[in-house]
Amino acid sequence: MHNLTSDNGQLFEHIYKISTTGIAIFSAENGSLLKANPAFCQLLGYSESEWLARSDANGGLSGASGLSRYKEVADALLQSPSGSQQLETSCIHRNGQTVLISLVVSCVFDEVQVGKPRLLIAQATAPARSPIIGEAVPTEQDMRMLKGLKTQDLVTYSSTAGVFYSDITARNQAELRLQESEQRYKSLFEYNPAAVYSMNLAGDYLTANANLEALSGYTLEELIGMYFGPIVQEKDLAKTLHHFTLATQGKPQNYEIAILHRDGHTVEISVSNIPIIVNDQVVGVFGISSDITDRKRRTEQIEKLSYEHALILNSVSEGIFGLDPQGNLTFINPAGLAMFGLSPGEKVDLSYLSTIQQTESDGSPYVSEGSPIFQAISNNQSHRETEAVFWRKDGSSFLVEYQVTPLFDNGEPKGVVVVFSDMTSEKEIIEAKESAERADRAKSEFLSIMSHELRTPMNGIMGMTGLLADTELDDEQQGYIDIILKSSDALLYILNEILDFSKIEAGKMVLNQEPIDIKEVLEGVRDLFMARAREKKIELICLMEPDVPPIIIGDSVRLRQVLVNLVGNAVKFTEWGRITVSVEVVPGDDASKHTLQFIVKDTGIGIAADKQNLLFQSFSQLHPAINRKYGGTGLGLAICKKLVELMDGSIGVESTEGKGSAFHFTLQTSIVDNQ
């Protein structure tokens, strides 16, 4: 027997034995059989030893075996450029039946004597529809009949035709199933929209489709043989190893992890690990992975929005609740629960009408489905009411303002959301405010009337006192008259302040619009207080910046009143030093308008920082001791503030206790065209 072994002999022997294709090796010299594998032996029912015993100079396969065409095939092989021949022939099975087989015969040439054939190798398989025939050969009519028969019909046909045919042999059926399975696996592997791959038990990639290349950024050449660990993000590596280990134990796994793309960005994926089981043993793991980055981002955004919306609903002071198209309550925020007298943990699953019980303003219930909110639900329209009545759980009612807004999802109505506020307290506050304003107006009107009524007799007293002072009086009587005149002047000043204040409060103060000579106003105020300033040895100075327009439009009486009040206070509260009255222009955008700033600065007693907020309030006094020493009604600065604001200006103060004060106010005014 020829020596068939080589360096790869053991591998060849293993493939030779397990092959599902029948393989027979013949001598090229005399055609004797040298070797036959189990598949070849099974094909015709003879063992290898029986084949060897039947071998002869003609190949041992002539006659009953049906392989008498050996010489013909051998001669054709020597002439064939491809070195192989394919044919179909009928062979006699060991049980006496004829079996149609396909042969592919190849020639192996001698390595020493070039061109000399050494071995013939025959590969034998059964065709797709190999008939097993009795002694008779199927006729042409039989073959036509066979084409229309199914496998289950063959037995019936054999009983009538006197012959028996088998369908594909078991081995060929297995081969076809294997080929079909391989094609299906290939389609599933290559055309799957997910990344599909296989790994050995160590986690190394064995195979992978193109989608894994796109998912990871690595080429297939780089992936094959590579361990999956470096691709997985570190935070998910332990999780991945846990699931992979379970898969190697025969337990399929589904999980989600993050991998690191080759270019550095993160990819969120879902993973399925499926054990590869051969002969009841796990030999590897299949993996199927899909990119879920966008889905996870959307989910995170939805969760974040839901959380933020919940925070908003829980934090707003207005009540908010939702109703479905049937009027059933779908949600309500904590503020709404509190307004309806419901506890946060209380289950609210009643219908809208039995939960909220909206009624008409007189307390009578609406007729069935007649409430405005129910109408808004039915018509999918917005609705707003400023005064409506809702009812609490305990049966008490409260006044609300509410807004109904319909909800739509892709054009389909999904109900409404109602935002409401408890207006009961607000209405009470409004009513109280209106009542206070009415009382304030009545007070102002009363003060205005009383001031007029008091000033009339006061003028009479002062007039008669003046006439009396012109008569011949002794020193004691003259002293009495002086006291009466001073007291009358003080009382008249107070009455004038009250009258002005009441006019402003009542909105009856009307400003004149006339040309004002600013220099004349400043000099008039200075002359008024010059004697008093000299008496106290105080320097009184008036300054006007060069860019101040000489003539402006405004109310000279009220401007003079403000300056007299401020300069009078400065003289009153200053015992030494200087009082400066200045006016300057504050730059503005409108050339036709001027903003003038007046400043009255003194070196008087000053004002404590914590008392400065009381200066411009009505009837306020900084300290009782100051009031006793200097006097005053506490209305002067309040009147100044209101007059300045009537003239579209503002007033303020900067002061340091013990060092003096600087009162300043601005006026918005237009100038007179000299032309």
Q: What is the pLDDT of residues 611-620, one digit of tens each?
A: 877 777 765 5
pLDDT at 219 over 70: yes
Which of residues 532 and 64 earns the better pLDDT score? Answer: 532
Instruction: Express each pLDDT in 506-564 by its tens digit.
Output: 666 778 888 989 999 999 889 888 988 998 899 999 999 998 888 888 888 889 888 98
Asked whether residue 48 is assigned to any structural domain, the reply reads: yes
Percent of residues in the chain assigned helix, strand, coil, to nearest 5: 40, 25, 30
Asked whether residue 257 is assigned to any structural domain, the reply reads: yes
Q: Which whole-number Å values give the CA distances from 79 to 40, 72, 118, 580, in the listed order?
A: 27, 11, 15, 135
pLDDT value at position 136?
Answer: 40
Instruction: Give the count of domains, the chain.
Output: 5
**Residue 474 and residue 438 share a domain:** yes
Query: What SS3 state is found at 350?
Result: coil
Asked whether residue 65 is assigned to any structural domain, the reply reads: yes
pLDDT value at position 160?
Answer: 37
Q: What are the φ and ψ backbone dihedral angles of 671, each rounded to 5 degrees?
A: -105, 160
**Contact yes or no for 665/597 (Cβ under 8 A):** yes
pLDDT value at position 433?
Answer: 67
- Calpha distance 549→515 (Å, rounded): 11
Asked whether residue 181 is assigned to any structural domain, the reply reads: no
Q: Domain holding 87: CATH number?
A: 3.30.450.20
**Residue 343 and residue 455 share a domain:** no
- Calpha distance 220→214 (Å, rounded): 10
pLDDT at 204 over 70: yes
**Residue 664 and residue 539 share a domain:** yes
**Residue 523 and residue 660 share a domain:** yes
pLDDT at 52 over 50: yes
**Residue 475 and residue 563 share a domain:** no
Q: Tell me which of 369, 389, 422 is where a domain ends.
A: 422
pLDDT at 82 over 90: no
The whole domain housing 93 covers 9-130
pLDDT value at position 285?
Answer: 92
**Residue 662 and residue 519 share a domain:** yes
**Contact yes or no for 579/533 (Cβ under 8 A):** yes
| CB neighbourhood size of 4 (10 A) | 13
Query: What SS3 state is found at 560?
Result: helix
**Residue 88 and residue 28 share a domain:** yes
pLDDT at 207 over 50: yes
Contacts of 589 (CB under 8 A, 6+ apart): none
- Calpha distance 178→264 (Å, rounded): 42
The mean predicted confidence, pLDDT, of the chain is 75
Integer-rounded Cα Rg, in Å, for the chain is 58
**Contact yes or no for 420/405 (Cβ under 8 A):** no
Where b means 16+ CB within 10 Å and e means fewer, 226-255 reads: bebeebbeeebeeebeebbebbbeeeebeb
Q: Domain holding 614: CATH number?
A: 3.30.565.10
Q: What are the φ and ψ backbone dihedral angles of 613, each rounded to 5 degrees?
A: -70, -10
- Calpha distance 508→495 (Å, rounded): 17
- Calpha distance 240→229 (Å, rounded): 9
pLDDT value at position 4?
Answer: 41
Hey, what amino acid is at 586?
Answer: V
Asked whether residue 172 is assigned to any structural domain, the reply reads: no
* Mean pLDDT, rounded, for 597-616: 86
**Contact yes or no for 44/126 (Cβ under 8 A):** no
- Calpha distance 420→335 (Å, rounded): 10
- Calpha distance 367→365 (Å, rounded): 6
> Which alpha helices (H) appear in 195-341, and where do they start and end?
210-216, 220-223, 234-248, 293-315, 334-339
pLDDT value at position 158?
Answer: 37
Where b means 16+ CB within 10 Å and e means fewer, 285-302 reads: bbbbbbbbeeeeeeeeee
* Mean pLDDT, rounded, for 33-48: 82
pLDDT value at position 174?
Answer: 57
pLDDT value at position 77?
Answer: 66
End-to-end CA distance of the chain: 140
pLDDT band at 159 (very low <50, low <70, confident <90, very high): very low
| CB neighbourhood size of 540 (10 A) | 22
Asked whether residue 233 is assigned to any structural domain, the reply reads: yes
Strand ranges inside 395-467, DSSP E = 397-409, 412-422
Instruction: Express each pLDDT in 317-376 by its tens digit.
Output: 788 888 888 878 888 888 888 888 777 766 655 444 444 556 665 556 666 566 788 888
Asked whether residue 178 is assigned to any structural domain, the reply reads: no
**Residue 647 and residue 520 share a domain:** yes
pLDDT value at position 597?
Answer: 92
pLDDT value at position 387?
Answer: 78
**Residue 659 and residue 523 share a domain:** yes
Instruction: Express each pLDDT in 1-11 by its tens digit.
Output: 444 444 455 65
- Calpha distance 356→43 (Å, rounded): 88
pLDDT at 65 over 50: no
Distance of CA 604 to the CA centre of its chain: 63
**Residue 610 and residue 481 share a domain:** no
Least confident segment among 67-81, 83-97, 173-187: 67-81
Hey, what amino acid is at 240?
Answer: T
pLDDT band at 94 (very low <50, low <70, confident <90, very high): confident
**Residue 330 and residue 234 share a domain:** no
Q: Tell me which of 112, 130, 148 is where a domain ends.
A: 130
* Mean pLDDT, rounded, for 58-65: 39
User: Taking Cα atoms as reference points, which of 390, 389, 404 lies closest to residue 340?
Assistant: 390
Which of residues 80 and 511 earns the better pLDDT score? Answer: 511
pTM for the model stands at: 0.36
Give the residues across from 383 on adjacent strands. 404
Residue 299 tokens read as 């989910």
- Calpha distance 83→108 (Å, rounded): 9
Instruction: Express each pLDDT in 252-305 by its tens digit.
Output: 999 999 999 999 899 999 999 999 888 888 999 999 999 988 888 887 777 777
* Mean pLDDT, rounded, for 583-600: 81
pLDDT value at position 669?
Answer: 81
pLDDT at 69 over 70: no
Q: Domain holding 490: CATH number?
A: 1.10.287.130
pLDDT value at position 70?
Answer: 54
Name the pairing type of β-strands 266-278 and 253-260: antiparallel
- Calpha distance 54→48 (Å, rounded): 10
**Residue 563 and residue 531 share a domain:** yes
Instruction: Express each pLDDT in 552-589 by its tens digit.
Output: 888 888 898 889 889 988 998 898 999 999 999 988 66
* Mean pLDDT, rounded, for 400-409: 87
Highest-pLDDT range among 304-313, 494-503, 607-616:
607-616
- Calpha distance 373→363 (Å, rounded): 16
Asked whether residue 454 is assigned to any structural domain, the reply reads: yes
Highest-pLDDT range among 500-504, 605-609, 619-623:
605-609
Hey, what amino acid is at 216?
Answer: S
pLDDT value at position 510?
Answer: 77
Instruction: Express each pLDDT in 114-157 by its tens digit.
Output: 667 777 777 777 654 444 333 344 444 444 444 444 434 433 33
